[in-house]
Chains A and B, each alone.
Chain A
Amino acid sequence: MSAPVLPPVAVVEADAPHGSSPAERAAARRPKRRRRLQNGQRPGFLAYGFLTAVILGSVFPLYWSFLIGSGDASTITRQDIVWWPGGNFIDNAAAVLTDGSVNFWRAIGNSIIVSTVVAAAVVLFSTLAGFAFAKLRFRGRNGLLIFVIATMAVPTQLGVVPLFIAMSQLQLAGTLSAVILPAVVSAFGVFWMTQYLSQALPYELIEAARVDGASMIRTFWSIALPAARPAAAMLALFVFIATWTNFFWPFIVLDRQDPTLPVALSLLQSNYFVDYSVVMAGVLLSTIPLLILFAVAGRQLVSGIMQGAVKG
């Protein structure tokens, strides 16, 4: 595993050369190409064509939402299909943002707060626990780690009824804390940081710090945390996206007046089901922040998944 910012040589994760040796020799005899193919067979147009189709399929629904979102109420009732965006996106977005019954601005703020706080808390707690599991010796370590991994398979979402009762009892229902608290627990995060730190943090460093008289927490703060930075950034990315897109629990526990973005979108739909152009403008508004994030950090996201990320 390597840091997100990679020298161009090391970008390939694990592509061992495929080539059979006769093909390799043949390739060596041929005049040198602009780029040497390690593979005996060069992927044909079929491969690129197939992938192009897949990517068009990925992008098209977003483009479609922009088509609808930049039209007006009559756009979707036209019999001929419109393939070019209209000019009403700004108006529709303004309609979403100024709608009195949905509180979209508030939803944006809430989503930013919740996702940021959850991501930061998960990273901190996961790195702490991962540091202990990966590098410290204590009784029951293996058993506890197995327990953590086992909890990844527990559908905790099914505890919503008592969780809601508890949040009501604690007077937290309707507050952002009710959304943040349950999300801070991430077995995946602990597992992920344990995996990373066990191979990214040499024992020598820890011992050196101890010899210099650093306490455990100081060792964690000055040695483990900097070493964990690349994995922590990826974890933060995953948790941020998961929290931003989460719907079920916020929908249950938040007031309609004080929603997160996905909850606001569901309200928008029940208010505007006649005018889909406004709904789609809302969809785009709520997706744009993540699109920007993807443009900036998509590469890290890919390598994070390739390093064994987990659904959910």
Chain B
Amino acid sequence: MTATADRPRATGTPPTAPPSGRAPSDTTGKTDRQVRRIAFSQKLSRWDVKYSPYLYISPFFILFAIVGLFPLLYTAWVSVHEWNLIGGQGDFVGADNFAFVLQQEQFWIALRNTFSIFLISSVPQVATALLIAAVLDRNLRGKTFWRMGVLLPYIVAPVAVALIFSNMFGDQYGLINNLLGNIGIDPIGWHSDVFASHIAIATMVNFRWTGYTALILLAAMQAIPRDYYEASMIDGAGIVRQFFSITIPQLRPTLIFVIVTSTIGGLQIFDEPRLYDSAGQGGASGQWMTITIYLYNLGWGQLNFGRAAAVAWLLFIIIVLVGLLNLAITRRIASGDNPQKVLNRAARRAARTRRDQEVDA
């Protein structure tokens, strides 16, 4: 829509436009017509200003409603019905699907595996990422090179990572067992033992995400005013004390953010365990079957959408709960060590710096 003053009729008038009264234009005076025309184009321009913003944000909201919000809510509807892939919606069955799922041993095995893999991957990942970020925060030569090198695994698809690592963690001929054999350790049953398989899958997750997390933490580290370190140095704090008393507390919002996002992603893990062996069922006795694999098997293996939706809804609730729990724990840990003394002294010097860097993680 252009708001030029000539021939407003020719430019697409919005459907809500009132008749612009140009029909009897031959009989009306010339001046009158021009006044009308300007008035009309101004009106157009006002609508443009008023409604354009809504028009511009509408694609996101409309699409999110269709492919994001609606499916998630509709999952609850599907989960209380008999529903299969071929027949579609069946009878209302109330909480039967949930009851069935909760009585299955497989569901609890899947829950255990998911949490086990999540913990084995995220705790070391955040710790390692902190360490890498702390080293990258030093005054290195070739900053960009190191940062890029750390980030490289992020571009490898989880599926590809899973194939590479499941080969390296092969039970018989795998590289890892081969190397272990060379130093006299018996081969480990990476594909048969529950805990060993979790370690292998957690390794894949960490391979891909540690560098990424490190860079996020590094960005947050660089926003910490250097005066804090200076002040603590004068107070006689060593590098380790600085790390735990200044760096960690200052990184709190970022740490919370990283942990919450890795929870949301980590509890839905599918790609790596699915491709950890060629069958894709999460092991002969479900050693590494995760909740999402279980969901997939119910929905697209047994063609029972009602039950699959019940699992999805349960997982949704679990993710929300764990997210809240995370928030509480992270708050406590990160604020455990009180940097008040340092901050007060540094604050006076760094007041201006800190105003300038209201970082929103």
**Which residues of A are at the interface with B, using a C-beta cutoff of 8 A?**
11-18, 20, 35, 37-39, 41-43, 47-48, 50-51, 54-55, 57-59, 61-62, 64-65, 68, 76-79, 81, 125-126, 128-129, 131-133, 136-138, 141, 144, 148, 151, 153-166, 181-182, 184-187, 190, 213, 215-218, 220, 241, 244-245, 247-248, 252, 261-262, 265-266, 269-270, 273, 276, 279-280, 283, 286-287, 290-291, 293-294, 298-299, 301-302, 305-312
Contact = CB atoms under 8 A, between A and B. Distances in A.
A288 B223 CA distance: 35
A185 B296 contact: no
Contacts of B131: 50
Contact of A287 (B50, B150, B155): B155
Q: Which 10 A-B pairs have the closest CB atoms?
A: A159-B71, A245-B157, A39-B139, A273-B278, A55-B149, A216-B52, A162-B74, A138-B53, A132-B53, A132-B56
B195 to A, nearest CB: 22
A47 B261 CA distance: 29
B170 interface: yes
A161 B308 contact: yes
A36 to B, nearest CB: 10
B221 to A, nearest CB: 9
Interface stretch (B17-25, B59-67, B334-342): B59-67
A104 B272 CA distance: 21
Contact of A61 (B2, B140, B165, B178): B165
Given A158-B316, A162-B78, A217 B64 contact: no
A13 B313 CA distance: 42
A20 B227 CA distance: 9
B71 A248 contact: no
B244 interface: no
Contacts of A136: 52-53, 56
Nearest to B139: A39
Interface stretch (B26-34, B98-106, B112-120, B204-212): B204-212
Contact of A77 (B161, B173, B212, B312): B173
Nearest to A40: B233
A78 B178 CA distance: 10
A100 B178 CA distance: 34
A93 B159 CA distance: 18
A199 to B, nearest CB: 12
A301 B168 CA distance: 28
B199 interface: no
B53 A265 contact: no
B219 A312 contact: no
Contacts of A216: 48-49, 52
B3 A215 contact: yes
Nearest to A220: B56
Interface string B183-226: 00000000000000000000000010101100110110011011
B96 interface: no
A307 B219 contact: yes
A148 B64 CA distance: 10
B147 interface: yes
B183 to A, nearest CB: 13
30 contacts: A14-B223, A20-B230, A37-B139, A47-B138, A55-B152, A57-B207, A58-B152, A58-B207, A59-B149, A64-B167, A76-B170, A77-B172, A126-B60, A133-B57, A158-B75, A187-B64, A213-B4, A216-B49, A220-B56, A244-B157, A265-B159, A265-B160, A265-B163, A269-B163, A269-B278, A286-B160, A290-B155, A291-B155, A299-B148, A312-B265
